[in-house]
Amino acid sequence: GRNVLIVYAHQEPKSLNGSLKSVAVEELSKQGCSVTVSDLYAMQFEPRATRNDIVGCLHNSEEFNYGVETWEAYKRGGLSSDLIEEQKKVQEADLLIFQFPLYWFSMPAIMKGWMDRVLVQGFAHEFPKCYDSGLLKNKLALFSFTTGGSKEMYAKGSISGDIRYLLWPMQHGIMHFCGVKVLAPHICFAPEYVSEEKRKEMLVAWAQRLKTLWKEEPINCSPEWYFK
């Protein structure tokens, strides 16, 4: 059986994001996968990268450098317990699903904080071990999210630009940088402005995709995919 970690960022379980998360748990569990959910709001996950992430003495107490300190702490097993717990979930996962509403062309702050704090140097990347040789290179990731705007608004040449432009920092700058192979995103456009019937169809489409997810090929992780 495969292991799946769903990193989920929505305040309301009854939201479409909450339903998409539940559909993924149900469908993947049916396939025999072991599914873990990090429900960031429910966990009251701390998004800020601070001195509190390091247990014990600092490598350099004169001048605090978060990147250096977390790298040194990771090597000696001195990261805070919440980070160790999330890293363990990532380590065990074959697939990472990120479920969230798009905020300001990006992920919510609580999820960005998860990326900032969990994917430390030494654990997820260590130059020159990045991109195709990143430390998480045997994993898959999928970004599943909802938007406020319609599909037409996120088309090339439209007011918001191609939705793929927004995925460059998330999929390429974070996941691919850490070596993770990325599956095509799953996007539910403007669920607030469609009928209940249409929202149900969105959930059915997600369940259908999940049935054959493991047969999918990752996207071509190159600038061409995003900007062609």
Q: What is the pLDDT of residue 221?
A: 87
- Residue 144's contacts (CB-CB under 8 Å, 6 or more residues apart) are 20, 24, 97, 98, 99, 100, 185, 186, 187, 188, 206
* Enclosing domain of residue 50: 3-227
Q: What is the pLDDT of residue 154?
A: 97
Q: What is the pLDDT of residue 139?
A: 98
**What is this structure's pTM?**
0.97
The total number of structural domains in the chain stands at 1
Q: What is the pLDDT of residue 126?
A: 96
Q: What is the pLDDT of residue 228?
A: 85
CATH number at residue 185: 3.40.50.360
Q: Is the dihedral of CA 211, 212, 218, 224 positive or negative?
A: negative
CA 84 to chain centre: 17
In order along its 228 residues, the chain shows pLDDT tens digits of 899 999 999 999 999 999 999 999 999 999 999 999 999 999 999 999 999 999 999 999 999 999 999 999 999 999 999 999 999 999 999 999 999 999 999 999 999 999 999 999 999 999 999 999 999 999 999 999 999 999 999 999 999 999 999 999 999 999 999 999 999 999 999 999 999 999 999 999 999 999 999 999 999 989 999 998
Give the DSSP H or E segment for 39. Answer: strand 34-39
Bridge partners of residue 97, in order along the sequence:
6, 142
Going by C-alpha positions, the residue among 11, 14, 27, 198 that lies closest to residue 108 is 11
